[in-house]
Amino acid sequence: MKLKDLEVLHVAPPAPGWGGRYWTFVKVTTDNGITGWGECYASTVGPAAMAAVIEDVFARHMLGANPEDIELMFRRAYSSGFTQRPDPTVMGAFSGLEIACWDILGKARNRPVWALLGGRMNDRVRSYTYLYPEPGQDAAEFWVNADWTAEAAAKCVQQGFTAVKFDPAGPYTIRAGHMPAMSDITRSVEFCAKIRAAVGDRADLLFGTHGQFSTPGAIRMGQALEPYSPLWYEEPIPPDNLHEFAEVARHVRIPIATGERMTTKAEFGALLRHGGAKILQPALGRVGGIWEAKKIAAMAEVFNAEMAPHLYAGPIEWAANIHLAVSIPNILMAETIQTGGAFHLALIRNSIRWEDGYLVAPEAPGLGIDVDEALMRAHPYTGTRLHLEMQEAPCDYRRGNRFEGGAPSDG
């Protein structure tokens, strides 16, 4: 069995667009006709350029290879161009292709991917979701309205969630880490207070930041949130200085979580050695794929750290996350988009099960998903923007900060 053909599809979710502006799927076919699906999360270049990178990585390092040779193909891509260092674009391309290889291998053996990763450790996986506005609700107001967000949290708990995430501390800028405005700290405290009052001890609070603070700014914000006992303080500083996570952790009594923008075990290994983060959040469509994430989980065990795979993409990365989570002993929880997301579930014909706050271990071969290829092709992304983009304007200390949530408002 050899890898033979590749197709790249950029799919645009319809409004409200939870999961980003578009998703990049890869369809890989072997010489004996088995098809595997993968998803690339990295989007540091535009969709046309990313498709070219994916095609180059496949042709250069994978075409004609046995899909079993995951390690060999990874080393080829990781070493490409005499580098042997983390590269989010190349490793993002490889990640989606690697996920497709696991889908192929599972289908060839008539077994779910988790069975090829050491077997089923967990029958079900605790899940969490971001808090999102209701249909028809003013999204721009929702992201800064603690009362509305608390109502959304209460509804999520009624559905069965035991953890909810929110990130009122914006803005997300292209600049280096900044000191938060006092108004941002005040709003963040209000969110924690009102959400905690709405859910009591029935759910954990997950405080997100997307890495926008300086180290002292992260410490100020984190210390203000401590009375509400969030389960984690997510990516409080940018991911380009791993030493500083330990400095934040020394001053803030909330567990530090990070990892969605990191790639390969090299970066996660350095993070663990320096200390600081005890909750790792790899995005499997960027980190190097399922096998690389499995290695990261094993390293995390040694440091008594837990895994919480990140998801702000489409349903194929979601499926990969679930197989990893089912196979490891140190899973904390896995991200979902609401209880699965209407368009996410439609693209895979409802083949992932979410029940009472948990994701159920898949039983079907490969990734265990039933891809609706026609629906994918009916929603192409034809623009040139990136999956997500940060603002150029700096933090506003005078007029306050309002920011767009995770669904871009333009094409």
153 and 198 Cβ atoms separated by less than 8 Å: yes
Give DSSP secondary structure letters for 61-106: HTTTS-TT-HHHHHHHHHTTTT--S--HHHHHHHHHHHHHHHHHHH
- pLDDT higher than 80, residue 410: no
Q: Percent of the chain scored above 90 by pLDDT?
A: 93
Tens of pLDDT, residues 205-245: 999 998 999 999 999 999 999 999 999 999 999 999 899 99
Tell me whether residue 210 is one of the annotated catalytic residues: yes
Does the predicted model carry a pTM greater than 0.85? yes
Catalytic hit among 10, 61, 210, 387: 210
d(CA 19, CA 11): 11
Q: What are the structural domains, with CATH classification, of the chain?
A: 115-367 (3.20.20.120)
pLDDT of residue 233: 98
213 and 235 Cβ atoms separated by less than 8 Å: no
Tell me whether residue 310 is one of the annotated catalytic residues: yes
pLDDT of residue 170: 82
Tens of pLDDT, residues 129-188: 999 999 999 988 999 999 999 999 999 999 999 999 999 998 889 999 999 999 999 999
User: What values do phi and psi take at 156, rounded to 5?
Assistant: -60, -40
- Which of helix, strand or coil describes residue 14? coil
Overall average pLDDT of the 196-205 stretch: 98
Q: Show the tokens assigned to 396.
A: 């506003």
pLDDT of residue 411: 56
Three-state SS for 353-372 is: CEECCEEECCCCCECCCCCC
Catalytic hit among 10, 61, 310, 387: 310
Amino acid at 371: V
What number of other Cβ atoms are within 10 A of residue 341's Cβ? Answer: 23
Tens of pLDDT, residues 290-327: 999 999 999 999 999 999 999 999 999 999 999 999 99
Tokens 């290994």, located at residue:
269
Overall average pLDDT of the 240-251 stretch: 96
Tens of pLDDT, residues 36-91: 999 999 889 999 999 999 999 999 999 999 999 999 999 999 999 999 999 999 99
Closest C-alpha among 100, 111, 95 to residue 294: 95
254 burial level (CB within 10 Å; 0-12, 13-18, 19+): buried
How much is the mean pLDDT over the chain? 96
Beta bridge partners of 125: 359
